[in-house]
Homo-oligomer: A and B are copies of this chain.
Amino acid sequence: MTELTRPLSPRSARAHATALAAARALLGEGGLPAATVDAISLRSGVSKATLYKHWPSRTALAAEAFGREMADALPLPSTGDPRADLVEQVRQVSAFYAGAKGEVFAQLLAACVTDPSAAPYFREFFLDGRRAAISVLWQRLVESGLASPTVDAETATDLLFGPLIFRRLTGHAPLTFAEADAISSAALEGLLKRE
Query: CB within 8 Å of B: which residues of A?
Result: 33, 106-107, 109-114, 119, 122-123, 127, 131, 151, 154-156, 158-159, 161-167, 169-173, 179, 182-183, 185-191, 194
Q: Check if A119 sits within 8 Å of B166, measured CB to CB.
A: no
Interface of A is mostly: helix
Which B residues lie within 8 Å of A107 (CB)?
Answer: 113-114
Q: List 28 A-B contacts (CB under 8 A).
A: A33-B114, A109-B110, A109-B113, A109-B169, A109-B170, A110-B110, A112-B170, A119-B171, A131-B172, A151-B186, A155-B179, A156-B186, A158-B167, A158-B173, A158-B183, A159-B163, A159-B183, A159-B187, A162-B163, A162-B164, A162-B165, A162-B167, A163-B163, A166-B166, A187-B190, A189-B189, A190-B190, A194-B194
